[in-house]
Structure 1
Amino acid sequence: MGNISNEERELREIENLEREDVEKAGVDVEDASGVAPWRQQITVRGVITSIFIGLIYSVIVMKLNLTTGLVPNLNVSIALLGFVFIKLWTKILEKANIVSTPFTRQENTIIQTCAVACYSASYGGGFGSYLLGLNRKTYERVGGTSTPGNTSDTKEPGIGWMTGFLFVTYFVGLTTLIPFRKMMIIDAKLPYPTGNATGVLINGFHTPKGNVMAKKQVKGFMRFFSFSLLWSFFQWFYTGGDHCGFAQFPTFGLKPWRNTFYFDFSMTYVGTGMICSHLVNLSLLFGAVVSWGIMWPLIRVLKGNWFPESLPESSMKSLNGYKIFISIALILGDGLYNFIKVIYFSALNFQACVKKGNHITASVTYDNQDQNQNQTPDDLTRNDFFIKESVPTWLACAGYVVLTVISINVIPLIFPQVKWYFVVVAYLLAPILGFCNAYGTGLTDMNMAYNYGKVALFILAALGGKSDGVVAGLVACGIIKSLASTSSDLMQDMKTGHLTLTSPRSMLVAQAIGTGIGCVVAPLVFFIFYHSFDVGNPDGEYKAPYVIIYRNMAILGVEGFSALPNHCLKFCYGFFAFAVLVNLLRDWNPKNIGKWVPLPMAMAVPFVVGAYFAVDMCVGSLVVFVWSKMKCKEAALMVPAVASGLICGDGIWVLPSAVLAWFKVRPPICMSFVANK
């Protein structure tokens, strides 16, 4: 027994506590009588912690947004960090003989809600898609004529107008679905998998078992956070030129390296791959092989036949055009299929709930199997508390009307190309689209806000015409996407609050605080990247792939198929059909075939970005697979903490590296690789 390691001893302690929990499983533990009033659930230390975590994750998410456009679900790691920071806070005060108020799961939930709302603006605010797609560089990269003084199709990034646009679009989404929260959470019993998992996790933290688990996770997080930060610092010294450093290491040889197949030693992508499912990571790799391994080398050979030799590869009438429009076809095929599927099954499920009241439990999947479950005393306690702490409907309606009037007046001032009646139509549709998105997210955990935004993009781009269509389409996409996404995020958090007996009133206030901070922080973080790095450059580190994709979607809405390069339309038809067919195949046999069918939305990203980050993320999946085979219980406990540490360490390095770049401090060494002649 004396040879047992500390890790094994800690795992055995957790197992013993789990046995105690199982023995007590028949005892109902929920008691709303001891829950603090909603105003006391929002604490000063909780808000400070939320802001700190929100700032850190805003930088991390912005980096992911401007490199690959893929951002994993970070709710679990934020709930963990919130628990860790407050525990450290109380321990420091305890050593100083200062009595602090007990840390409750309600406060933990408020911290998680506020921090997630803060960083959401960095991801969903359009900095890597529709807003950045308005700038002059993107306009020229997609083939626009650089005529001095021609600004009708462009709008340069600015902290002022970006902050104002976020405020008038994001806050409206907080008010749209408040009247429907009881129907979605209690009556329809929508599972909201992310919100449910976060609620269960927070409940687990505030038990003896959860406390022991959290300590072990903190050790893992800090260990890999330090490693990732030091590794990023070490790599910086070797990046003193173009295509230099470990990020350009020709892992599989120089020829695959030229086609972007290499491991770039990015701890951010490895950590992201550990969080994302194996299906997402393998879909990325499959898309990379199809595009950079097969299609682009073959199309490049046809230069001079399919497109003029004089055109650079970055031209939209050259190879880059095939990359962009084929990826758009995959995205649209996948988005349209899932859009129709979610609407159809949501309508069926909603109709069943209306007919049978509380007797039908919403299905988590699309197999339409009802899961009739009896209400436990715990469920009844949570439901009663959730209803008692309701937000007045009149307040939500009044807030929606006031914010809508403000938006109708402000948005046309920011974007003269967007007529006021376009905004009116968008805000009339917003509650319907927000409800559909939140209901579909509750069933499937798929936030379809961008697909709703794409519908608005094509419609208003066509209505706006050649003069105003591109800007109008991109802005309309942003309005609808922001409203639908915020509504869905609020319902996810309401599900978490329902499980942790957190007042919906305090949740709404926390969401509003986080959203307000995020609307200010996100543009500032974006400008750190924008002025320190070459954001949007297809050959640089911060490619922002969705920027060109969204700009070309708007152009496609205005000009039609004439915007496509030669023979590209045939490829688009083929990949659009492929996206629909693989989705049908997955839904036809989800258990046996579906888990191996690639995801078209994930496949589309490496078509534009390259294969290197897909290799990194597959390495993350490989680490999880090997770890799970060797030590299953330890892996299940530690993977989220280790992945978060890798992501945070590499993400934090962005700030000092941006400061060094701002002051023109260059790395001293360039490590590059050339063929032996």
Structure 2
Amino acid sequence: MARRRAQEEEDDDEAEESVEQVFEGREVPGWREQVTARALAVSALLGAMFSVIVMKLNLTTGIIPSLNVSAGLLGFFLLTSWTKLLAQAGFTGVMPFTRQENTVVQTCVVACSGIAFSDQNPLLTDASINPAGGFGSYMFAMSERISEQSGETWDPHDIKNPGLGWMIGFLFIVSFLGLFSVVPLRKIMIIDYKLIYPSGTATAHLINSFHTPQGAKLAKRQVKTLGKFFAGSFAWGFFQWFYTAGEGCGFMSFPTLGLEAYRQKFFFDFSATYVGVGMICPYLVNASVLLGGVVSWGIMWPLIEQKKGDWYPPISNPAASVASSATGYVFVSIALILGDGLYNFLKVMTRTVTALVVQVRGMMSEPTLPISGGGGESLPAAEETFDDRRRTELFLKDQIPNTLALSAYLVIAVVSIATVPHIFHQLRWYHVAASYVIAPVLAFCNAYGCGLTDWSLATTYGKLAIFTVGAWAAASDPDGSGSGGIIAGLATCGVMIGIVSTASDLTQDFKTGYMTLASPRSMFVSQVIGTAMGCVVAPSVFWLFYNAFRDIGLPGSEYPSPNALVYRNMAILGVQGLGSLPRHCLHLCIAFFAAAIAINLARDLAGARAAAYIPLPMAMAIPFYLGPYFGIDMCIGSLVRLVWDRLDPARAKAFAPPVASGLICGDGIWTVPQSVLALAGVKPPICMKFLSRTANAKVDAFLHS
């Protein structure tokens, strides 16, 4: 066994030296043969499946790990099976399944399911994911349900409830501009600047490995493992459903650490989803989430609870007082998010500008400048390898006309400027136009920075739009009340995220295509098709959740959608200013904002070994509103992964992602039949609830009376 593993590792090392020599004898299909009907059919199936999974994660905690491994594995398995079945059935002329077609499926699936994302945290998600949908953040934050939790004075001009028609229309208007804005820069980013794009590169390595004999065998075993845990997780979700006939019933309300700890949201809720998430996310992320839960629900909220009647009006119900304080003091978590975002924004932008200046200076000293055009040849570097030459040749073969991209951007921008104000009457045409003037510059910066660091700052730009456009719209309100500024800020956030994030998405795809010899045209077309699918699938999935689970967005519900309240409060702060904060909240916000910057600075100044023990402020902020229960789930997943890594590191590296993906996917897909049952009025038959000994005695006495 040891000899076989050593031989496999040696073979992998040889393949790493020249990947393209392994595939040298295989013909590369044209771009039309890469974007096949079967690839699009599989992409639609997997895109819908992953949209459901992402939406569930999105509306619970907002922590969404990268599902690229799952998408790649399942795409490879389905298309390989499809090809073999047709061949066995006697069909002639069946096209072989190629890595270029696999890349198209991967791109299309991620583009489709990415629309369902609401926020993007590079620590927790894959940096190539598009968070344009905003169903758990800026879009749902416009609703009356979230407005009621924010404690603001109700204003119909600052409310826009979800509607399937306007959500689909809005996404179609704003989700394609970023694709066209970055097309003219494709050659500069990938060939001339040789940007790394770690996520795109990792995806390419994964796809390339699938199409080697050793990789295909491993992929089959990984798919089988994923399927087993998918079935187990789905069955576990179905089993739990029988015991959730009332509020606070079921295993998700199991007081595993005691009733007092349960009241402060410290318990294990038997969630297969977040155990799986914990197995994928880095140990530091999981520990930071749990630490944030301890700081907030173990220390901060109990102390604020003691100040009722002093800092805020007294409320008789203790649970309600926590929720009430959260409507104001939840700005503390926003301060953590903004402090972390500002620090990393400045850090990434500094690196981006510095690297860009060095690149430009180096190229200014060359005889010719790199121009991203039709078929221009770039100067070969002295250290250019066989792989580089082969990939550059194929990458420059099928070009996308820059005139087409620029013309499409202008046409869509004009249509958007005319139509978005009709969807959101609080916005004026010049608000949208200003966004489209600034967005291409930000899109370039985001795509370049993502290529260097794998960090996308799309939501940071979106949050800046909330503050700037929200305040701008409020200041221009005729009656001076600032009415409509909240919706204007949130809508512009969606516009900005939709443009900036898709720019980095497409450049990531170009990098993946470059390394798998997939045509730039097939990458662009599959991204466009996947985005179009997502613009219909993601709102439909959200609409299913919204109608099936009537308490969606409410604190304490199965789907509290915490990011929606965070975004709503950001918009309120942008419109009303710091004077809207409750007593002493500003002091707490300043302290936590400064702490986020100090922690990040300490991480960068400390060595790599010490930085592994310094928490992540963004991850710490997540449980401030929800509680630490899902952090406990994630840490249990981390513990499983840690033990597995110690006992059998090679097997853990190969099979932990499929196991985790199976847990996440099975539990996520269970929500579809659960939603159908809820819409049909079918209710669970049993309520399993836990009471204290005193409460149980009272219940028994009441039943016997």
- Aligning the two structures, in what range does the TM-score lie when normalised by the shorter sequence? over 0.9
Quote how far apart the aligned CAs of 1:548 are. Answer: 0.9
**Secondary structure, aligned partner of 1:122:** coil
Alignment partner, residue 428 of structure 2:
419
Q: 1:628 to 1:387 in 2, by over 3 A?
A: same
> Which of 531, 552, 566 is the matching residue for 1:535?
552
Kept in 1: contact 2:329–2:582 (CA 8 A): no
TM-score, normalised via structure 2 length: 0.90
Quote how far apart the aligned CAs of 1:455 are. Answer: 0.7
Aligned residues: 654
Task: Quote the Cα distance in structure 2 between the aligned partners of 1:73 and 1:296.
Answer: 32
Work out whether 1:546 is the aligned partner of 2:563: yes
Q: Sequence identity, in percent?
A: 51
Task: Quote the Cα distance in structure 2 between the aligned partners of 1:142 and 1:634.
Answer: 48
Kept in 1: contact 2:599–2:614 (CA 8 A): yes
**Secondary structure, aligned partner of 1:34:** coil
Give the aligned residue type for 2:337. Answer: I
**Secondary structure, aligned partner of 1:592:** helix
Kept in 1: contact 2:468–2:574 (CA 8 A): yes
Work out whether 1:133 is the aligned partner of 2:141: yes
Kept in 2: contact 1:188–1:358 (CA 8 A): no
Alignment partner, residue 51 of structure 1:
44
Give the aligned residue type for 1:85. Answer: L
Give the aligned residue type for 2:500. Answer: A
Give the aligned residue type for 1:135. Answer: S
> Which of 158, 170, 173 is the matching residue for 1:168?
173
The 5 Å alignment of 1:573-584 reads 573-584=590-601
Alignment partner, residue 144 of structure 1:
152
Alignment partner, residue 102 of structure 1:
96
> Which of 70, 73, 92 is the matching residue for 1:80?
73
Q: Deviations over 1:156-186 (max 9, x none)?
A: 1111110111011101111011111111111
Kept in 1: contact 2:149–2:327 (CA 8 A): no
Give the aligned residue type for 1:424. Answer: A
Kept in 1: contact 2:323–2:555 (CA 8 A): no
Q: Deviations over 1:132-165 (max 9, x none)?
A: 111111122212345xxx5211111111110111
Give the aligned residue type for 1:92. Answer: L
Task: Quote the Cα distance in structure 1 between the aligned partners of 2:200 and 2:382.
Answer: 20
Task: Quote the Cα distance in structure 1 between the aligned partners of 2:315 and 2:238.
Answer: 41
TM-score, normalised via structure 1 length: 0.94
Alignment partner, residue 122 of structure 1:
116
Quote how far apart the aligned CAs of 1:30 are. Answer: 5.4
What residue ranges of structure 1 are gaps of 5+ in the alignment? Answer: 1-8, 361-371
Q: Deviations over 1:211-270 (max 9, x none)?
A: 111111012111101110111111110111111111111111111111111111111111
**Secondary structure, aligned partner of 1:103:** coil
Taking only aligned residues, the RMSD between alpha carbons, in angstroms, comes to 2.0
Q: Deviations over 1:266-319 (max 9, x none)?
A: 111111111111111111011001001111112112211211114876589941
Task: Quote the Cα distance in structure 2 between the aligned partners of 1:18 and 1:481.
Answer: 42
Kept in 2: contact 1:30–1:378 (CA 8 A): no
Alignment partner, residue 211 of structure 1:
216
Task: Quote the Cα distance in structure 2 between the aligned partners of 1:69 and 1:582.
Answer: 22
Task: Quote the Cα distance in structure 2 between the aligned partners of 1:550 and 1:118.
Answer: 23
Task: Quote the Cα distance in structure 2 between the aligned partners of 1:615 and 1:429.
Answer: 42
Q: 1:320 to 1:24 in 2, by over 3 A?
A: closer
Give the aligned residue type for 1:378. Answer: D
Q: 1:181 to 1:20 in 2, by over 3 A?
A: same
Kept in 2: contact 1:314–1:320 (CA 8 A): no
Alignment partner, residue 89 of structure 1:
82
Q: Deviations over 1:327-382 (max 9, x none)?
A: 1000100011111111111000011111224999xxxxxxxxxxx99321111211
Quote how far apart the aligned CAs of 1:620 are. Answer: 1.1
Alignment partner, residue 125 of structure 2:
none
Quote how far apart the aligned CAs of 1:29 are. Answer: 3.6
**Secondary structure, aligned partner of 1:265:** coil
Work out whether 1:306 is the aligned partner of 2:297: no
Work out whether 1:512 is the aligned partner of 2:521: no
Give the aligned residue type for 1:563. Answer: S
Task: Quote the Cα distance in structure 1 between the aligned partners of 2:389 and 2:435.
Answer: 38
The 5 Å alignment of 1:421-440 reads 421-440=430-449
Q: Deviations over 1:501-539 (max 9, x none)?
A: 000101000001000010011111001110111111011
Moved more, 393-402 or 31-40: 31-40
**Secondary structure, aligned partner of 2:425:** coil
Q: 1:643 to 1:373 in 2, by over 3 A?
A: farther
Moved more, 32-41 or 118-127: 32-41
Task: Quote the Cα distance in structure 1 between the aligned partners of 2:269 and 2:333.
Answer: 23
Alignment partner, residue 468 of structure 2:
459
Task: Quote the Cα distance in structure 2 between the aligned partners of 1:277 and 1:648.
Answer: 19
Kept in 2: contact 1:131–1:474 (CA 8 A): yes
> Which of 576, 580, 585 is the matching residue for 1:568?
585
Alignment partner, residue 490 of structure 1:
506
Alignment partner, residue 361 of structure 2:
355
Work out whether 1:238 is the aligned partner of 2:254: no
Moved more, 586-595 or 22-31: 22-31
Q: Deviations over 1:543-601 (max 9, x none)?
A: 10011111111110111112111111110000000000111111112412222211111
Task: Quote the Cα distance in structure 1 between the aligned partners of 2:359 and 2:309.
Answer: 60
Task: Quote the Cα distance in structure 2 between the aligned partners of 1:93 and 1:192.
Answer: 37
Q: 1:33 to 1:405 in 2, by over 3 A?
A: farther
Work out whether 1:646 is the aligned partner of 2:646: no
Task: Quote the Cα distance in structure 2 between the aligned partners of 1:277 and 1:359.
Answer: 42
> Which of 4, 7, 11 is the matching residue for 1:20?
11
Task: Quote the Cα distance in structure 2 between the aligned partners of 1:23 and 1:647.
Answer: 35
Alignment partner, residue 367 of structure 1:
none
